[in-house]
Amino acid sequence: MKKKHFLITLLVISFINSYSQISFEKGYFIDESDQRYECLIKSIDWRNNPTEFKYKMFQNDKGITANVENVKEFGIYSVSKYIRDRVKIDRSSDQVNMMDSNKDPILNEELLFLNVLIEGEASLYLYTDNNLIRLFYKVSDSEISQLIYKRFNINEKISTNSYFKNQIFQTLKCEEIEFRDIEDLQYSKKDLVPLFVKYNDCIQSEYMIYQSTEKEDLFSLTLRPGLNYSSLKIQNSMSNSRDFNFDKNVGFRYGIEAEFTLPYNGKIWSIIIEPTYQYFKSEQSKETNTVSGGILVSKVDYKSIELPVGVRYNYYIKDKLKLFTNVSTVFVLPSKSSIQFLRNDGSVLSELKAVSRINLALGIGLKYSNRYSLEMRYNKKRNILSDNNNWDSGYNSLNIVFGFSLI
């Protein structure tokens, strides 16, 4: 129980503290007076365009919040850049049940941080707010304008205003760009970034593409052998003659974990799936006058193939060392497991089928260089005799799991 309470307390503390652990990376910002400051910016990999960000001048400083009202530009080197501008934006919904019947965009002026995709003679910007995606552009010294794309609903028929193709055709004039390069464009950065690159190359303009230079390691596969520290207590409500308390047992467990990292919020959240095989074998005997020979022997042979599916929270302690906490729902596949009662001569008196239900597991661990890991995992007590009338049991296990990432 003390181990259980210690682990749960440590998990809670870790989750509370984790929100402050996302790394600060080298960057800069430019304030209202056009003063540029080199600093460290909290890297979050914003899914939506931010309205504010946290920075500090030195690693040990407390984080300071800056926002769109007092910063003109900020960026994290080799990762992202945001500029502030007052632009006209259409926020018409793209969801079918919320579409209007007007094909023209409804443009309202807003002060926004725009994500710079390409910066050159022809620049491209992105704005995202949940399901709302808007692309903006600027050529030479013109104002930043939205590329117009709107879906609308007239008499239950969905139509599309793709005026952005006309905007591009009229603006990005170059002998290497023809209308056929534009007519099949989708309203996405995947389609538009290459076109803006092509235009800047065509007019021999210097340009910069802003995107992360880091490898997108969003999937890993890890071998996970380990040790099980397990114990089992069984009780019969009708008679205590067959109650047994099996001592703590050290066994092996074998698993392989697939981890899918979510590409948001600094890649701190991930989904984990870990098929695992583990077993518990033990034998106890007791003196009793209920069986011939006066000795009752109980043997447990409990094997399980488990499938923990859970959520993991990762955060860095140092450059290559991170702490992680996870919670998993454990699905248990059927297996041939049993508890036998025998006379002292080895003859079988009776046998109970051992089964398992869905269970809960909590873990905390360290991972080094995204390759080597060590985790301590507590599994909630389970009743492996739930299919047997008048029987109750408590199977407890604590895992020490070693990890070696293959990819």
Residue 234 within any structural domain of the chain: yes
Q: Are residues 145 and 244 in the same domain?
A: no
Mean pLDDT of 312-332: 85
Same domain for 189 and 270: no
pLDDT number for residue 44: 74
Residues 30, 87 within the same domain: yes
Residue 11 is assigned to a structural domain of this protein? no
Residues 250 and 394 in one domain: yes
Identify whether residues 359 and 233 lie together within a single domain. yes
Confidence of residue 45 (pLDDT cuts 50, 70, 90): low
Residue 8 resides in a domain: no
- Is 77 inside a domain boundary? yes
Whether residue 231 sits in one domain with residue 113: no
Pair (279, 174) in one structural domain? no
Q: Which of 59-73, 190-204, 380-394 is predicted least confidently?
A: 380-394
Residue 356 or 139, more confident:
139
CATH number of residue 276's parent domain:
2.40.160
Residue 82 has pLDDT above 90, yes or no: yes
Q: Which of 209, 244, 272 is the last residue before a domain boundary?
A: 209
Residue ending a domain, among 209, 239, 267, is: 209
Residue 240 is predicted with a pLDDT of 80
Percent of the chain with pLDDT over 90: 48
193 shares its domain with 325:
no
Banded pLDDT at 343 (limits 50, 70, 90): confident
Looking at the 3D structure of the chain, how many domains does it have? 2
Do 104 and 227 lie in a common domain? no
Residue 211: its pLDDT value, please?
67
**Residue 7: per-residue pLDDT:** 53
Please indicate, yes or no, if residue 13 is contained in any of the structural domains. no
Q: Is there a contact between 339 and 385 (Cβ–Cβ < 8 Å)?
A: yes
Average pLDDT over residues 370-393: 89
pLDDT of residue 16: 44
pLDDT class for 263, splitting at 50, 70, 90? confident
pLDDT digits (tens, 9 = 90+) for 121-139: 999 999 999 889 999 999 9
CA angle 18, 314, 323 (to 5 degrees): 80
In a domain, 401, yes or no: yes
**Domain check: are 64 and 205 in the same one?**
yes
Q: Most confidently modeled of 29-33, 93-97, 172-176?
A: 29-33
pLDDT of residue 266: 65
Tell me, yes or no, whether 224 and 195 share the same domain: no
Region 261-267: what's the mean pLDDT?
A: 74
Average pLDDT, the chain: 86
Q: Are residues 39 and 100 in the same domain?
A: yes
> pLDDT category, 18, cuts 50, 70, 90?
very low
The arithmetic mean of pLDDT across residues 220-233, rounded, is: 92
pLDDT(213) > 70 = no
Residue 115 belongs to a domain: yes
Among 178, 209, 240, which residue terminates a domain?
A: 209
In a domain, 7, yes or no: no
pLDDT band at 216 (very low <50, low <70, confident <90, very high): low
Compute the average pLDDT of residues 85-91: 96
What pLDDT does 294 receive? 83
Full residue range of the structural domain in which residue 397 is found: 219-405
User: Is pLDDT at 1 greater than 50 in this prediction?
Assistant: no
